[in-house]
Amino acid sequence: SIPLGYFGGIGAASKNGILFKGSNFLDSLAEIKEVVMDKTGTMTEGVFDVQEVHLQPEFEGSKILEFVNSLESKSTHPIATAIKNHVGEIDSEIILENVEEIAGHGLKAHVDGKELLVGNFKLMDKFDIPYSIDPSSIVHTLVAIAYGGKFAGYLTISDKIKADAQTTIDRLKSMGIGITMLSGDKNNVVKFVADELGIPNSFGDLLPEDKVEKVKEIKAQKGTVAFIGDGVNDAPVVAISDVGIAMGGLGSDATIETADVVIQDDRPSKIPMAISIGKKTKKIVW
């Protein structure tokens, strides 16, 4: 039978919108040594706005942004919504063929018989598209575009740090818990957010399988690890963590299903709250 203390802990958590899928996760949370987190949608709103559009001279006045919008309408990534909001209605005369999502990179398709690529600069590198800018010099998430084998330009987009992100980090630190941020976004954007918040360890440009490897390394070094994320790509890393936590509002179904704990209102400050409920419950139970 489950000791009474656990019901108190699970009840206190659920009143605060923190859903536990088992009482054992309260115990594990009480032992957490490191909280590993995703950036986009976890510590940031995950809602992007297009800031600037830079097209190569030969693409100015072309339909390239309409092509991009059309291709992004096939994606559920938050970047796709930003582009839709910026460009507007989809031009129904644009016909896309061979649409493909390239994990951790972006999208590919054919339009008017030519290859269209929309994603990060890693995608440009993967397809040997030459470009003359230095993406690492821009502290913004970038969406690069190539058409017919030529670099067509890029958009700068930005996201906002969540209102309670700072208190989350401060509280975890005061509990003596280590913090690492892992992201598929550009390294310098990840570093910028980590520096803003005072997160000591951060890694960007990661593919979903790289996130899994990093969490395995951290587990080996530090012990019990909690991972918190929201995206489809976070499901594998949520699964291998001692406590996998999902953002319930923005989160993908796969991640929510795999998670041990779900934060219904997407507020990261619920992480230190859940840990302290775990610690208090443990005191009562033992």
Question: Which of 118, 146, 155, 263 touches ligand ADP (CB under 6 A)?
Answer: 118
Binding ligand ADP by CB under 6 A: which of 43, 79, 109, 263? 79
| Shortest Å, Cβ 253 to Mg ion | 14
Q: Which residues contact 15 (CB under 8 A, 6 or more apart)?
A: none
> Taking the complex as a whole, how short is the minimal distance between the CB of residue 96 and ligand ADP, in angstroms?
13
- Is-contact 84 173, C-beta < 8 A? no
Q: How far is the CB of 184 from ligand ADP (least distance, A)?
A: 2
CB neighbour list of residue 109: distance below 8 Å, 6 or more residues apart:
71, 74, 96, 97, 98, 99, 100, 115, 116
Answer yes or no whether residue 107 interacts with ligand ADP by CB under 6 A: yes
Which is nearer to Mg ion, 37 or 172 (by Cβ)? 37
How are beta strands 49-55 and 150-158 bridged, if at all? antiparallel
Check residue 80 for interaction with ligand ADP (CB under 6 A). Answer: yes
Task: Determine how many CB atoms are found less than 10 A away from the CB of residue 59.
Answer: 17
Cα–Cα distance, 283 to 276 (Å, whole number): 11
Closer to Mg ion by CB, 40 or 241: give it: 40
- β-partners of residue 143 are 155
Q: Which is nearer to Mg ion, 153 or 231 (CB)?
A: 231
DSSP for 154-174, please give it: EEEEE--B-TTHHHHHHHHHH
> Is 38 known to be catalytic?
yes
User: For ligand ADP, which residue of 13, 77, 146, 181 counts as binding (CB under 6 A)?
Assistant: 77
Give residues in contact with Mg ion (CB under 5 A). 38, 40, 231
143 near ligand ADP, rule: CB under 6 A: yes
Token code pair at residue 244 = 């996998």
DSSP string, 9-75: HHHHHHHTTEEES-THHHHHHHT--EEEEESTTTTB----EEEEEEE-GGGTTSSHHHHHHHHHTT-
Closer of 80 and 271 to ligand ADP (Cβ): 80
By rule CB under 6 A, what string of x and - marks binding of each residue 31-70 to ligand ADP?
A: -------x-x------------------------------
**Which residues form the catalytic set?**
38
**Contact residues: ligand ADP, CB under 6 A:** 38, 40, 72, 75, 77, 79-80, 104-107, 118-120, 143, 183-185, 231, 233
